[in-house]
Each structure stands twice: as structure tokens, then as C-alpha cells.
Amino acid sequence: MSNPTSHSPNSETSSSSDSSSSAEREPVRKRPVPGRGHRKSKKGCFSCKKRRVKCSEELPSCRGCRRLGLDCLYPPSPQLALSLSRNPSSCPSTFRLEDLRFFHHFLTAAYPSLPFGLDDIWQSVAAMAHEYDFLAHSIIGLAAQHLTTCTTSDFSIQALDHRVSAIGALNEALSKPCLSRSDADARFAAAIALTFQSSYMPDGMMDFFRMLRGWMVIQTTLVSAMGETMFHAIKEETYVNSMGKLLGAAEDLDESEQKELQQTLRDFIASLRLIAPQCRSAAELHYVASLERIARVGEVSPVDACLELVPFYAVTNDMDTEEFNNFTNPTNFTAQVLLVHFWMLTHVLHRHSLGPARTSLPVRDEIIFQWVETAACSLPRSHKRYVLWPLGMARLGTELPQKV
């Protein structure tokens, strides 16, 4: 009898042949179909979206952009987080001795100067900063940036470090319920400080508008819900009234100055009309029409035009989320040209109406010139001709002595 556990030579040969043939056969791999094989990334950078590839979503730049040497820019978050143009060397987890200097500078010179009459409130804000890390970082970052603009020292790295820490801690705080008026005051004060800090940053133009929007969200949700908070009186009218006080102290233009201003505004309108045909969205069309209307007002009364500029700073807050994201998209070059024109119109009207009182405004002339220069340099060749006038005015402004 044969052993049931033994195998015949034929069976061994067959088994060996089967294993050999299966080993020789390699699995057939399907080629990936472009645009499929992964979930779409809603938080990916603009470069990856344009190339229709999956973004690794790493910060400060994704793997694809690092490999190709591309600028890595992300869509703005619905929170207050910003895509910073520089990568800070470190983010301070604790405060340092030099921060005492910045804190003192905030108390004496760097707290937001507009609207007028809030000195005591900002002193109270400073007194409560030890209870909220995001508030302490935001006011110290503002002071360090302000000190950089008004002295020969450069504290921009320290300012950016504190800004990163403030935004991260504030976003974390905003993800939790606001339990008291003190919580609402701290969050609102931090948003204001971060907005004013961006107005002193040479590369902070887009950050300025994003922070303005975050400021509005906090004011309309937290502050209004908490009733009579420390900042309940801050409204659009208070800023208009503050500008009115500055304009009331300014001297009237003589005939030659009036003619100079009118010619400058006519040149502004001519430049604006070059970009107008490129405006497509409702937000862009409204923006360009409003700029021309304010310039027309300025030809008759620069004071009235300055007053109309005050609410126009935050006109982007009236856009819905999709409109705002499209308007502030780094690839929306038409919107960037419009913003450049807005800042130069602001400079022209303030220069002829406010004189030395311009130093009370959050965005200073030298920062405006840098914003215009930076934006103009980043535009593609197709849009360079649309910024010839504002760029020329900015360069002229840096060469000529300031009118005081």
C-alpha cells in the first residue's frame, strides 16, 4: 500500500510547475488615472491646485513646491491664521527680558491711536494681558513692529515671532466658548493689535485685509453678544469722527495746491480706467467704481473724500466668504492692481489734506510705498502696465521730502 502522505513524482512536478509559473507571473498594475486616485485637497496650496496634483499641505511650503522651487501659497483659513511670507526662526513659548522694552513702548507710544479717546481702554488692556497669552503676544508684537518703523533698530524678527504665537493662541481661544466679557475684550483687543501690526509690516498688505475681516467677525459675534464690553463704542462712526478731528486741524489748500491735487486725481482716474475692463466679478466692479467715485469727490473736496475713505478701508468685509477669498487670492492680479490704486489714492488725499497729522494714521506713507512696490514687482508681465502710475507715484514719494 502506498503512503497517503507521500506524493507521486508527477504530482511534485505539477506542484513545482504551478509555483514556478505563479512566481513568474507579476501582478498587472493599472496606470494611475490623472486627477484620480486621491481625495481632492480643499486646503492645498494654489500651485498644486493649478497643476491638479495632491498637495502634502506642509508648512511653510509643501513637498511639491519645494521640489520645483515654486512659491507655496495657501488659501486663507476661515479663522484668523495667516500665511506668513517669512518663516520665523523660532516661536517664543515664554517671554524674554527685551519684551519689557516692547511692553513699555506699547504703553507709551504703540497702542492703536485711532479712534481717539481710547487711551484708558488700552491701558486696561495692557493690565489684563498677563491673563491671556495671545493678548500679551499681540501687543508686544505690535510694539516691536512699531519700534522698527520709528527707529533705526530692527526688531522685525521678534515682532514676527510674537505675531505667530499670538495668532496660534488666538485661534485656539476662538475655538472655545467665550465665557465672560473679559474674554471678549481680550480677543477683540488682540485682533485690533494684530491688524495694526500688519499696517506697519512692509509685506503686510494682504495680512491687513485678512485681519480686518477677523476683527469684524469677532466684533459682530463675540463683542455684540457680550453686551457693553470695553470696546462696545467702537463703530464705523467713531473712526469717521476721529478722521474729522484730524481734518479739522488741517490747513486749507491754496489755489496752486488745489490745482495740483485735481491734476493728480485726474491722472489717478485715467490709470484706474485702464484696469477697469479687466474687472469681472461683482466685487471687483464695485471696488473700481467706488475708487473713481471717491476720486471725483476729492476733486471738489479732499476733506469729504478722506471721510469717505474711512469706511472704504473695510469694504472687503462686505464681501461674502467666496468673494473675499477670490479677491485676496494671490493669483487675482486684477484685485492686486485695484488695491495698489486704493493705497495711492489714500496717500494722495491724506498728503494734501492732513499734513503732519498723517503720523496719527495706522498705515504710514513709507509702508504704502513698500506695499505698492512689492505688489507691482509680483505682477506678471500682462499686468505691469496697469501699475505704471501708482508705482511712479510711490517711487517719487520716496525720493521727495515729505510734505509737512
- Which position has the grid cell 496719527? 360
pLDDT < 50 stretches in the chain: 1-27, 29-30, 32-38, 77-92, 401-404
Cα 92 to Cα 101: distance, rounded to the nearest angstrom: 16
pTM over 0.75: no
- Own/partner long-range contacts of 103-108 (Cβ < 8 Å, ≥24 apart): 103/129, 103/139, 103/140, 103/143, 105/143, 105/144, 105/146, 105/147, 106/139, 106/140, 106/142, 106/143, 106/146
For 79, counting Cβ atoms within 10 Å of its Cβ (0-12 exposed, 13-18 middle, 19+ buried), the class is middle
User: What per-residue confidence (pLDDT) applies to 357?
Assistant: 66
The residues spanned by each domain of the chain are 97-234, 251-399
Q: Helix-strand-coil percent breakdown of the chain, rounded to 5?
A: 65, 0, 35
Q: 15: exposed, middle or buried (C-beta count within 10 Å: 0-12, 13-18, 19+)?
A: exposed
For 63, the grid coordinates are: 513637498
In angstroms, rounded to a whole number, what is the distance separating the alpha carbons of residues 372 and 358? 18
- Give the type of residue at 197: Q
Q: What is the pLDDT of residue 266?
A: 96
194 near 163, Cβ under 8 Å? yes
